[in-house]
Structure 1
Amino acid sequence: MRELDETDRELLRLLLDDGRASYKQLAETVDLSPPAVSDRVDRLRELGVIERFTVNVDRSRLREGVRVAITLVVTPGESTAVREALTDVTGVEHVFVTAEGRLLVVGTFPDADIESPLQPAFETKAIESVDVTPLVASDWHPALGEATLGLECVECGNSVTAEGVSAVIDGERYEFCCGSCRARFEERYEELSEGA
């Protein structure tokens, strides 16, 4: 499966709406058997299109602190380091990186104290300025539209088309645009493994 068809897109829309829907429920909607739906969902997970199944919590129904949007202006070239520093920070829900390298952070923090929880990010010494705005409401409406599969060859970076190949190496799946890229990658992987 190198392309998303309308059935794949419909399954993704249904799962975005209710990630707990059973394969039987999904199958009835898309006119497939439950095992066929299971196979499609498994392939979408293997390809990384579906990363995980999660719960969308309505934060307005919970009291745990102050929900804020934070804009971090960082030293050019340091957005990855700051983003990684925010990975395990309690309270941080989303981190977005803009094209100009700013980080937009959404999170909930006790007593509006953001300095203490964000200390790992400040320790990078890459934050130039911080702007904090309290959030009063939020909505999440994921849209799939007519999305197509956008796999990239791990060897050369080209788009993986229907002629592409994949390989599972040491339990991890890799996508390639052609067999020669796969062969080069496997050869280099073996050389590095032997040298380690």
Structure 2
Amino acid sequence: MRDLDDTDREILRLLLADGRRPYADIAERVDLSPPAVSDRVERLQDLGVIERFTVDIDGSTLRDGVQVLVTLRPDGHRVGDVRETLAGLDGVEHVFETADGRLLASMAAPDGEVRGRLAGALDMAAVREFSVDLLAGAEWTPALGDATIGIDCVECGNTVTEEGVLAEVGGERRAFCCASCEAAFRERYEELERGA
């Protein structure tokens, strides 16, 4: 399994700018044939680098409520639960967890009542601090830089390098750091399948 090269990164940049860009246009810009671009995009999907193609909506053109940034500091052992609940709320666009255990969420509150809305969904007793800031604007620009593939082996958790193996097991593409991890995973998977 090879790592990302400059052509892969440029394909990703072009797709980030316009996910509906025709492969012929991308091919012209990266000096490949359209089928070669298609193969690379498929490989990036198989590796999980591209999860899906989606619509990027300009929230400023829609009337969906007051845009706010919510900052929460849950009790340490509750950060994951609060983050998961927060991410599932209608109107929440992004949730970030900081290294010190704070959660930041950008969201639209249709009625402007953020505190009541969160209190109805979250166990506020698990939240030590809470603040809401009105957003004047927001922009999200994913940066690739010199990114490399950082996939973990599904068997042992080690990083999958160029010597790694990408194999289909149970109808899904899975990444392994080596052939022995693939064999161990496949054997255990087939054993569980026989026992089911």
- What TM-score do the two structures reach when normalised by structure 1? 0.91
Paired position in structure 2 for 1:67? 67
Displacement after TM superposition at 1:55 (Å): 2.4
Q: Could you say which structure has the higher helix fraction? A: 2
Q: Does the 8 Å CA contact 1:95/1:103 hold for their aligned counterparts?
A: yes
- Taking the aligned partners of 1:25 and 1:167, their CA distance within structure 2 comes to 31
Deviates more, 1:133-142 or 1:167-176: 167-176
Matched, 1:98 2:98: yes
Q: For 1:112-154, what per-residue CA distance to the aligned partner results, in whole angstroms no more than 9, with x for missing partners?
A: 1124543565138532221111100112222111111111111
- Taking the aligned partners of 2:139 and 2:89, their CA distance within structure 1 comes to 23
- Taking the aligned partners of 1:195 and 1:116, their CA distance within structure 2 comes to 49
Deviates more, 1:170-179 or 1:6-15: 170-179
Q: Does the 8 Å CA contact 2:86/2:122 hold for their aligned counterparts?
A: no
Unaligned runs of 5+ in 1: none
Paired position in structure 1 for 2:114? 114
Aligned residues between the structures: 196
Deviates more, 1:7-16 or 1:99-108: 99-108
Paired position in structure 1 for 2:85? 85
Q: Does the 8 Å CA contact 1:77/1:101 hold for their aligned counterparts?
A: no
Q: 1:34 to 1:96 in 2, by over 3 A?
A: same
Q: For 1:78-116, what per-residue CA distance to the aligned partner results, in whole angstroms no more than 9, with x for missing partners?
A: 222222223431100011111122211111111211245
Paired position in structure 2 for 1:33? 33
Structure 1 vs Structure 2: percent identity of aligned residues?
57
Q: 1:91 to 1:170 in 2, by over 3 A?
A: same
When the two chains are superposed, the root-mean-square deviation of aligned CA atoms in Å is: 1.9
Q: 1:80 to 1:172 in 2, by over 3 A?
A: farther
Aligned residue for 1:77, secondary structure, equals: helix
- Taking the aligned partners of 1:50 and 1:127, their CA distance within structure 2 comes to 35
- Taking the aligned partners of 1:126 and 1:194, their CA distance within structure 2 comes to 44
- What TM-score do the two structures reach when normalised by structure 2? 0.91
Paired position in structure 1 for 2:186? 186
